[in-house]
Amino acid sequence: MIDDHTHIGRGVTKGEPVIDEKELLSRMDELGIEKAVVLPRGVSPECSFFHFETEDVLEVFKQHPDRIIPFCKLDPRNGGNSPETDFSCLLEKYKSAGCKGAGEITANLYIDDPLCKNLFHHCGKVGLPVLFHLAVGVTYGIYGLADDIGLPRLEKVLQEFPDTIFIGHAMAFWSEISADVNEKTRGVYPPGEVKLPGKLQELLKKYPNLYGDLSAGSGYNAISRDLNYGYKFLEEFQNKLLFGTDICHVGQEAPIVDYFRQGLKEGKISKIVYDKTTEENAKRVLGLAVDP
């Protein structure tokens, strides 16, 4: 298994101590996860009190190159808060140091804001996928790039930056798996059957540069709220989904691991789908070495 979404650092999050690299590696061994993407934290002020920046992640990567996959993190407002900022030089530096993507992007700006579009342009130019946290709006008390219901702003940037790979994450992204999403449910973990596919499936089908990050309560809820549909969704979009946990604090559970293994054991997903979503897609999207 390759986990496409973890965090480490120092401090407290959600009332629990943040895990360090030794604790992350221990959890990975416990869960049977071979490699994990580590995403920097603390660059955007909306997101976190604890800081663990790109240089910190790269230091951990140097110590454990066979287990850790580093990402770099920039805020679209870096470099003078200008839509003309040239991010390419720094992104190239991070890519040369081993970074396989940019994110998790958590600035509370609309996803089609000129500042965001400028960062997306440079990520595509350098060849680094963008993993973004999607929020329901630009307002107090939340973090993440924002969109409206139905994901119209995300669709605009998918069209405008076809050479940039986007990996979607969080409630406002995954709630769109169902056509009955509304303003009350799009920012939480909606329960119940998925009676009609939502806007998310339309975008996954239409845009080859969009992928889904299955981590955290949001991704897990999307595929487990309706077990029958969830496994069908994995089958249909087997080439567009990345397994992840979003492990970041001590004592955190990761039910998605058992979800996948149980689904394979009970024949609800095929070995092909299991391998793609838990490993092969990550290798392809992130440009990792492929086993001979």
**23 contacts 16 by C-beta, under 8 angstroms:** no
Strands 130-135 and 166-169: parallel
Distance CA 281, CA 4 (A): 10
**Residue 13's pLDDT is what?**
65
**Residue 12's pLDDT is what?**
66
CATH homologous superfamily, domain 2-286: Metal-dependent hydrolases (3.20.20.140)
CA-angle at 232, arms to 230 and 236, nearest 5°: 120
For the whole model, what pTM was predicted?
A: 0.96
In percent, how much of the chain has pLDDT > 90? 90
Question: pLDDT (tens digit, 9 = 90+) per residue, 266-283?
Answer: 999 999 999 999 999 999
For the chain, the average pLDDT equals 95
Is the model's pLDDT at 292 over the cut of 50?
Answer: no
- Token pair, residue 15, equals 């009332």
Distance CA 69, CA 184 (A): 36
Question: pLDDT (tens digit, 9 = 90+) per residue, 18-58?
Answer: 899 999 999 999 999 999 999 998 788 887 667 789 999 99
CA-angle at 133, arms to 106 and 164, nearest 5°: 95
Work out the widest C-alpha separation in the chain, in whole angstroms.
Answer: 54
Q: What is the mean pLDDT of residues 66-71?
A: 98
Question: pLDDT (tens digit, 9 = 90+) per residue, 232-261?
Answer: 999 999 999 999 999 998 889 999 999 999
Is the model's pLDDT at 291 over the cut of 60?
Answer: no
| Alpha carbon 181 to chain centroid, angstroms | 21
Question: pLDDT (tens digit, 9 = 90+) per residue, 189-234?
Answer: 999 999 999 999 999 999 999 999 999 999 999 999 999 999 999 9
**241 contacts 284 by C-beta, under 8 angstroms:** no
**98 contacts 67 by C-beta, under 8 angstroms:** no
